[in-house]
């Protein structure tokens, strides 16, 4: 079986741990949404969907206007991120799938080969900084149809009730706020 397209190759030092305090994504269609700039990064996703009145067991088509509980994550001092289209059916192709990474969750990778690679690349600079990126953390968000990976100092999460359209508006507002 082939491996997923990722920007690093894990070695024996990579260790995956679930971030128990982070909100687990909705198992169906969490509709992750990313808003990013060079020094700011926000990620929102559904954690709970509100079912229509009078139809508690009916299937619901999730859209950006669906109402539910949303987790909005702000990454502190992000340096890199990417998303890969790994679904439930192809999850085993992710190189960390058998090291503790599992479906529908938020994870942290200690001794990350990705962070080590980002650190090594900066040595090509004419004046390299030996400690660059060594304090960064590697976070992985596993959704139904995609995986988002982020290298940042840390993350802050908050939840609110509304729609993904509301969350996108909130993220754009935070993007414009010079204090965040």
Question: What is the total count of domains within the chain?
Answer: 1
Domain limits at 136? 15-176
**pLDDT digit string (tens) for 105-129?**
999 999 999 999 888 877 676 776 7
77 in a structural domain: yes
5 Cβ neighbours under 8 A, 6+ residues apart: 84
**pLDDT digit string (tens) for 7-54?**
688 999 999 999 999 999 998 889 999 999 989 999 999 999 887 665
9 in a structural domain: no
98 in a structural domain: yes
140 in a structural domain: yes
10 in a structural domain: no
7 in a structural domain: no
What pTM does this model have?
A: 0.89
3 in a structural domain: no
**Rounded Cα–Cα distance for residues 130 and 119 (Å):** 8
């Amino acid at each position: 079986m082939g491996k997923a397209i990722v920007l690093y190759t894990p070695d024996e030092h990579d260790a995956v741990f679930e971030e128990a305090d982070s909100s687990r994504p909705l198992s169906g269609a969490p509709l992750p949404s990313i808003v990013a700039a060079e020094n700011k990064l926000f990620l929102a996703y559904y954690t709970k969907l509100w079912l229509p009145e009078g139809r508690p067991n009916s299937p619901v088509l999730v859209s950006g206007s669906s109402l539910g509980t949303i987790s909005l994550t702000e990454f502190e001092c992000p340096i890199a991120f990417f998303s890969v289209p790994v679904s439930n059916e192809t999850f085993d192709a992710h190189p960390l799938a058998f090291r503790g990474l599992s479906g529908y969750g938020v994870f942290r990778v200690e001794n990350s080969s990705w962070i080590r690679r980002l650190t090594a690349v900066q040595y090509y600079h004419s004046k390299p900084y030996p400690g660059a990126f060594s304090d960064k953390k590697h976070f992985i968000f596993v959704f139904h149809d995609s995986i988002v990976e982020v290298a940042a100092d840390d993350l802050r999460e908050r939840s609110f009730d509304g729609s993904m359209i509301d969350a996108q508006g909130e993220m754009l507002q935070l993007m414009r706020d010079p204090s965040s």
